[in-house]
Chain A
Amino acid sequence: MVPDVDGAPVGEQCGTPAEGGARPRESTRREVTRRLLVSAVGVGLVPVAAACERRPSAQDDGRRADAFDETYRGRHIRGIEVHTGRRAAAGRWQVTIDGRPLHLMRRADGSWLSMVDHYRSYPTPLAAARAAVDELGPDGQLRDLAPGPMGGAPTHGGGEHGVHA
């Protein structure tokens, strides 16, 4: 199986992004995470995956969270899924690379993408975060771009720029 992360030198530190078995379409994130782990089992990466990913845990305030925390290509990537109450299905991931926020967005099929790598999507937040590291190159750091009103980057809407018709 060829990893689906564009053949970037994946898993230098933490094994192959195990999206091979993940089918994001119409899956919940928990299902995807479960499949990710199952997939890791399937390709014999259990020790590696276990060393790199925190299993789902419970937080004091009652929110459930899935998380990852690893070093990939020398970058520290962390992610935590935050479910809030009844809107658990709309849980969001807070992801950072070297401490800087990576704004992850979703496709309608349930897959994930970031502003750093915006012309394809990935089955899991971890895979999307690793792909963002691949695209950052050796020197790059993320800029802190809050999501804008259109879901894109900077926080101001149309109407104030100089390229109007």
Chain B
Amino acid sequence: MAYTRKNVSKLTRSERRRFVEALLKVKRRGEYDDFVRMHMEYNSPDGERGLRTAHMAPSFLPWHRKLLLELERALRRVDGSVTVPYWDWTRDRTATSLPWTDDLMGGNGRRSDRQVMTGPFAYRTGHWTINENVTDVEYLTRDLGHHSNPIQLPTAHDLETALADPVYDTAPWNSTVTKGFRNKLEGWGPGRGSASWRNHNRVHRWIGGVMVGGASPNDPVFWLHHSFVDLQWTRWQRRHRDHRYLPAEQPGPRDAQHGRIVARHQRLPPWDVTPDQLEDVSGIYRYE
């Protein structure tokens, strides 16, 4: 039977505790760092050669959906009642609102070194040492709102701009496309100025610290963020029932994107699963 992913604001005290404890246990077992490592490995941008699966590509959504499912499976092996909640950043919008409480994600980083000092993932608790990283910093860092030049979280209007686009994605299927639901949600704009990070990207930016790097899953809020991003895909599907993941077929051999993206029925590395198989997950989980 399908399980339910809830808005983090709807979790009971007990559900919060069990979610956090499951994360800590998966971390203690060494499994958590595998997810961080995988995210670091599948981070090729579109100006480089080779296949892109996780970012700047149509499979941004199914790739992260699968990553979340795998993390969630690890959590549920520890505690079968746990699911990954989502953080609706269009509603909970400040550095002191959910999920930045001491019984969930903990608070902002301190000013001097951005080290998170509160909550279950603070380094000093001894339970959350960062092992896989692009730097040698072992403590969790955040800079909520980017204090030196504040930015705002995306708004419901920003999200609506993405949801309203009936086309899933469009050529050239990378970070330069200005049309299509996928990149409007992933959030790559022109390379300059604050408009260059939108929706998904902008949230990473707003959180700051490890969340802006390739090792972003080191901050457990990564999962709450991507649960909400994943929910948007579900909402988009519901709104545009005649539309599906694109491209349906691999671009031709003369296309610059040939072999660089995953088409609907192609395997999505590193897993043996296709975007087609990940489009309908209603048999696994639903959003409340």
Contact = CB atoms under 8 A, between A and B. Distances in A.
Do A and B interact?
Answer: yes
Interface of A: 2, 4, 6-9, 19, 23-25, 105-111, 113, 115-123, 135-143, 145, 148-154, 156-159, 161-165
B8 interface: no
A77 to B, nearest CB: 15
B134 A142 contact: yes
Nearest to A8: B148
Nearest to A134: B148
A80 to B, nearest CB: 19
Contact of B213 (A23, A115, A149): A115
Interface string B36-56: 011011111111111111001
A108 B213 contact: no
Contacts of B49: 151
Interface of A is mostly: loop
30 contacts: A4-B192, A4-B194, A6-B151, A9-B148, A106-B45, A107-B46, A107-B188, A109-B175, A109-B176, A109-B190, A116-B134, A116-B135, A116-B212, A118-B216, A119-B197, A119-B212, A120-B196, A135-B212, A137-B114, A139-B113, A141-B135, A141-B136, A148-B41, A149-B50, A150-B42, A152-B40, A153-B40, A154-B41, A158-B270, A164-B70
B48 A151 contact: yes
Given A113-B45, A120-B212, A152-B40, 12 more contacts: A105-B48, A108-B175, A110-B191, A119-B205, A135-B212, A137-B141, A141-B135, A151-B43, A151-B49, A153-B41, A165-B66, A165-B272
B102 interface: no
B186 to A, nearest CB: 10
Interface of B: 31, 34-35, 37-38, 40-53, 56, 66-67, 70-71, 74, 112-114, 133-137, 141, 146, 148-151, 172, 174-176, 187-188, 190-194, 196-197, 201, 204-205, 212-216, 269-273
B196 to A, nearest CB: 5
A126 B193 CA distance: 16
B62 to A, nearest CB: 12
Given A109-B190, A159-B270, A137 B45 contact: no
Contacts of B41: 148, 150, 152-154, 156-158
A142 B74 CA distance: 30
Contacts, number: 184
B175 A164 contact: no
Nearest to B186: A119
A105 to B, nearest CB: 5
A110 B66 CA distance: 30
A76 to B, nearest CB: 16
A16 to B, nearest CB: 13
Please give me the 3 A-B residue pairs with the lowest Cβ-Cβ distance, nearest first: A7-B149, A158-B270, A151-B44
A116 B215 CA distance: 8
Contacts of B134: 115-116, 142-143, 145, 153
Contacts of A119: 187, 197, 201, 204-205, 212, 216
A159 B196 CA distance: 34
A120 B201 contact: yes
Given A105-B45, A151-B45, A152-B41, A163 B136 contact: no
Residue in A4, A107, A122, A141 whose Cβ sees the most chain B Cβ within 10 Å: A107
A9 to B, nearest CB: 6
Residue in A25, A105, A141, A165 whose Cβ sees the most chain B Cβ within 10 Å: A165
A40 B212 CA distance: 28
A108 B137 contact: no
B207 to A, nearest CB: 10
